[in-house]
Amino acid sequence: MTETAKIPDKIYFKIGEVSDMTGVKPHVLRYWESEFEIFRPAKTASNQRLYKQRDLDLIFEIKRLLYDERFTIAGAKKVSAKRPAAAAFEGRGPASSPGRRAPISNASAAPY
């Protein structure tokens, strides 16, 4: 059974839930947010962090790089930045979101 198989079918997870699922303490998750630009959980009006499934996938990947493969933070940043999945989350804008297409410019359209 893989680590991601233990994740419930929910849209958002609070930091305590993420900590329990990943085995990473909340203060470490907050530190990783400041170090790795590839994931930034959403925050509620009361400043509670809300993690999505893609954030959990990135946390599992970072944990694997740091704890299993023994990378440094700097090394894990370099490796995670080169991964295609990480590149999809860099922009965070609507055009870079999975399943959304970039707007088509009129420059290539034929004049009428």
pLDDT tens digits, residue range 37-60? 888 899 999 999 999 999 999 999
50 CB neighbour count, 10 Å cutoff: 15
- The chain-wide mean pLDDT, for the chain, equals 79
Q: Does 26 reside within a domain?
A: yes
Q: Does 73 reside within a domain?
A: yes
pTM of the entire structure? 0.69
| Lowest pLDDT segment from 48-52, 60-64, 86-90 | 86-90
Q: Which two tokens stand for residue 100?
A: 């959304």
Domain hosting 84: range is 9-91
Q: Does 103 reside within a domain?
A: no
**In which band, very low, low, confident or very high, does the pLDDT at 7 lie, cut at 50, 70 and 90?**
confident
pLDDT over 70 (residue 66): yes
Q: Does 66 reside within a domain?
A: yes
CATH at 55:
1.10.1660.10
